[in-house]
Structure 1
Amino acid sequence: MYPLLFRTVLSRMDPETAHHAAMAVIRVLGVPPFSWAARGLTRPDPGLATPALGLSFDSPFGVAAGFDKDVKGAAGLFALGFGHVEVGTLTAIPQEGNPRPRLFRLIADRAVINRMGFNNHGAEAAARRLEKLRRRKRRGVIGVNIGKSRVVDVDDATADYVRSATLLAPLADYLVVNVSSPNTPGLRGLQAVETLRPLLQAVHAAAGATPLLVKIAPDLPDDEVVAVAQLAVGLGLAGLIATNTTISREGLVTEPAVVEKAGAGGLSGAPLKARALDVLRLVRTAVPADFCVISVGGVETADDVEERLDAGATLVQGYTAFLYRGPLWARQINRGLARAR
């Protein structure tokens, strides 16, 4: 049913408008009794429970940052069967993000280009919502992804990240430093080891006992991927997320004119699969066996998730295929994983 709905209705809607409509439904699913009914249909097999970061995940498969930017849909996403939800990216200062349109489907490639620009209501508003979620007796693992406020100069980025970390780390199950989005000017330059080291040291101190991870871009050269992974280990971080979206447009089957019209932004979805897997394997060779590595990029099926786990991923995340697979996507993946075990 969902493929027909996508072809006939959703694919004709503005992608961002369609996302907001989907989020409205997801928010309803997070409220009893709807959440009870949904969870009854989607609850992961107990055999999929995964220990990581000192926590227990109901499934190794979760939602990547970017889907629930403002901590509004986490309860509904858990009701749909995801093992964890990474909210954000959140910034210390509320911001509208880039002008619309800023989200574009490449249907032939099962991909998306976005230049959202960290649109969110800010860390303080997110903290209030996280406090409400923490009061729930039963909830899944919630990660919090933080980025640099656009109005803050790159030279002042550390203080900006620390401000967000101070507000959000006490309410997060784990915290992620995002220095890899292509949609905030100057942000990716923070991935250089010499600039990343003091940033991570400061955020790590502000995060306290909350596990801290760093998220990297797929466009980093292999030697820099290894250098960042080794830095994360050396600083005592809990893990690394590989990868964010790519600025590459290689290998797309969508008409070049359509791709050009979409313009700048990060590409996600199926075209990212090969590079994300390569980066995962590279990171795993550079870190200890007990170091948490979360793989994201081009994941669509249970076989894709299993391939990442076999390649050394501790956990796996997805986002873009949600648009193409529909609300039962996590259920499909969890059932496929359970059958394979």
Structure 2
Amino acid sequence: MNLFERAGMVLLRRMDPEAAHGLALQALRAGAAAAPGLVTSARLRTQVAGLNLPNPVGLAAGFDKNATALQGLSRAGFGFVEVGAATPRPQPGNPRPRLFRLTEDAAAINRFGFNNDGMEAIAGRLATRPRDLVLGLNLGANKDSPDRAADFAAVLARCGALVEFATVNVSSPNTEKLRDLQGKAALSALLAGVMAERDGLERPIPVFLKIAPDLDTAALEDVAEVALESGVSGVIATNTTLSRVGLRSRHAGEAGGLSGQPLFERATRVLAQLSTLTEGRLPLIGVGGVGSAEQAYEKIRAGASAVQLYTALVYGGLGLGAEIARGLDELLARDGFANVADAVGTGRTAWT
């Protein structure tokens, strides 16, 4: 991080968190943010669910909910980017304040509630997206929808031709009863509808399932079984947690999903358990607490074929994705791996 970026980070941390997030998006749109460009190597290039990634370090959904900063993000050094969540109709989300920095914990709590401009506006932006970007869309459901399962399929039908992959998000804690869709019967029915819509696309794309880190063993076994039977292309593990164990910040009691460093161990254990349950038959994307090359490497060795981050950018800046990718390359070289795919799962037993 250079002096200009450090000064910018100091300014952003003095602002209201949601206002600071908006300013970061403006900087990306204006070309004033970190732009390290393509970060890749023979060790970092990999294929996940048919997606050819220049490196396995991605930006998680939630940072650019409305796909407004795609040009800047295409130059930020990420191997892939996920935007959204998008819902069929626009919705304002929950009342502010709804985003809280937990600086002492290198974490954040959000209760946004799928605030977004709706699939029509987002589709318009996706239509003019940079073509050199591996881009995915997080699918969501409207809070007041009478058929939330149908909402996921509707967003895929509208936007599926404009992205390289899509993610079914049934794991956000900020839409009432959304996580109930992770139950075996409900999840099977939901995914059947989404996959039928996917198969009808002119260019069928990979569909991932994003799960919560708060599932018990039985629920995780059900998720693994449904994922394997449904035909989804992979699982993203995990979303934010409702746990507040070990937090020190004065904002620890705020309602919403916790992300950042306190989530790393919980999310990585779920990832490793899921890797064991699926026996390598589905690629996994590891999310939750990734803030360094060492943590990205640990996720990969626990069973992830790729990783995503978001909250760490609050503390490390927009150039952190590229920094992690370069550091990961060095770690792979240190340990004698010719390619990142060779490292996947090699340390899983430490987490199970």
Q: TM-score, normalised by structure 2?
A: 0.88
- 1:253 lines up with 2:255 in the alignment: no
Look up the equivalent residue of 2:91 and give its one-letter code.
Answer: Q
1:75 corresponds to which residue?
71
- 1:117 lines up with 2:121 in the alignment: no
Following TM superposition, by how much is the alpha carbon of 1:4 offset from its aligned partner in structure 2, in angstroms? Answer: 5.5
- 1:285 lines up with 2:281 in the alignment: no
Look up the equivalent residue of 1:15 and give its one-letter code.
Answer: P
More helix by share: 1
2:143 corresponds to which residue?
150
1:88 corresponds to which residue?
84
Look up the equivalent residue of 1:230 and give its one-letter code.
Answer: E
1:122-137 pair list within 5 angstroms? 122-133=118-129, 136=130
Q: Name the SS for the 1:152 alignment partner.
A: coil
Residue of 9, 30, 41 corresponding to 2:11: 9
Following TM superposition, by how much is the alpha carbon of 1:74 offset from its aligned partner in structure 2, in angstroms? Answer: 2.4
- 1:240 lines up with 2:232 in the alignment: no
For residues 327 and 159 of structure 1, what CA distance do their matches in structure 2 show? Answer: 35
- 1:330 lines up with 2:330 in the alignment: no
1:197-276 pair list within 5 angstroms? 197-208=188-199, 209-255=204-250, 258-260=251-253, 263-276=254-267
Identity value in percent: 44
For residues 254 and 192 of structure 1, what CA distance do their matches in structure 2 show? Answer: 33
- 1:62 lines up with 2:58 in the alignment: yes
1:175 corresponds to which residue?
166
Q: Any idea what the Cα deviations from partners look like across 1:306-331, whole Å, max 9, x if unmatched?
A: 11111110110000000100122012
Check whether the contact 1:49–1:59 (CA below 8 A) recurs between aligned residues: yes
Look up the equivalent residue of 2:137 and give its one-letter code.
Answer: V
Check whether the contact 1:57–1:140 (CA below 8 A) recurs between aligned residues: no
Gaps of 5+ in 2: 334-352
Check whether the contact 1:226–1:282 (CA below 8 A) recurs between aligned residues: no
Check whether the contact 1:295–1:313 (CA below 8 A) recurs between aligned residues: yes
For residues 4 and 276 of structure 1, what CA distance do their matches in structure 2 show? Answer: 32
Following TM superposition, by how much is the alpha carbon of 1:145 offset from its aligned partner in structure 2, in angstroms? Answer: 0.5
For residues 240 and 282 of structure 1, what CA distance do their matches in structure 2 show? Answer: 12
Following TM superposition, by how much is the alpha carbon of 1:39 offset from its aligned partner in structure 2, in angstroms? Answer: 4.2
Q: Any idea what the Cα deviations from partners look like across 1:129-165, whole Å, max 9, x if unmatched?
A: 11111xx4x4221111011101213xx1122222111
For residues 142 and 188 of structure 1, what CA distance do their matches in structure 2 show? Answer: 25
Following TM superposition, by how much is the alpha carbon of 1:44 offset from its aligned partner in structure 2, in angstroms? Answer: 3.0
For residues 40 and 19 of structure 2, what CA distance do their matches in structure 1 show? Answer: 30
For residues 217 and 69 of structure 2, what CA distance do their matches in structure 1 show? Answer: 35
- 1:160 lines up with 2:151 in the alignment: yes
Q: TM-score, normalised by structure 1?
A: 0.91
Following TM superposition, by how much is the alpha carbon of 1:295 offset from its aligned partner in structure 2, in angstroms? Answer: 0.7
- 1:308 lines up with 2:302 in the alignment: no
Number of matched pairs: 325
Following TM superposition, by how much is the alpha carbon of 1:103 offset from its aligned partner in structure 2, in angstroms? Answer: 0.3
Taking only aligned residues, the RMSD between alpha carbons, in angstroms, comes to: 1.7
For residues 190 and 42 of structure 2, what CA distance do their matches in structure 1 show? Answer: 38
2:26 corresponds to which residue?
24
Following TM superposition, by how much is the alpha carbon of 1:242 offset from its aligned partner in structure 2, in angstroms? Answer: 0.5
- 1:103 lines up with 2:73 in the alignment: no
Q: Any idea what the Cα deviations from partners look like across 1:28-66, whole Å, max 9, x if unmatched?
A: 23xxxx89x9345x5333531111121211110000010
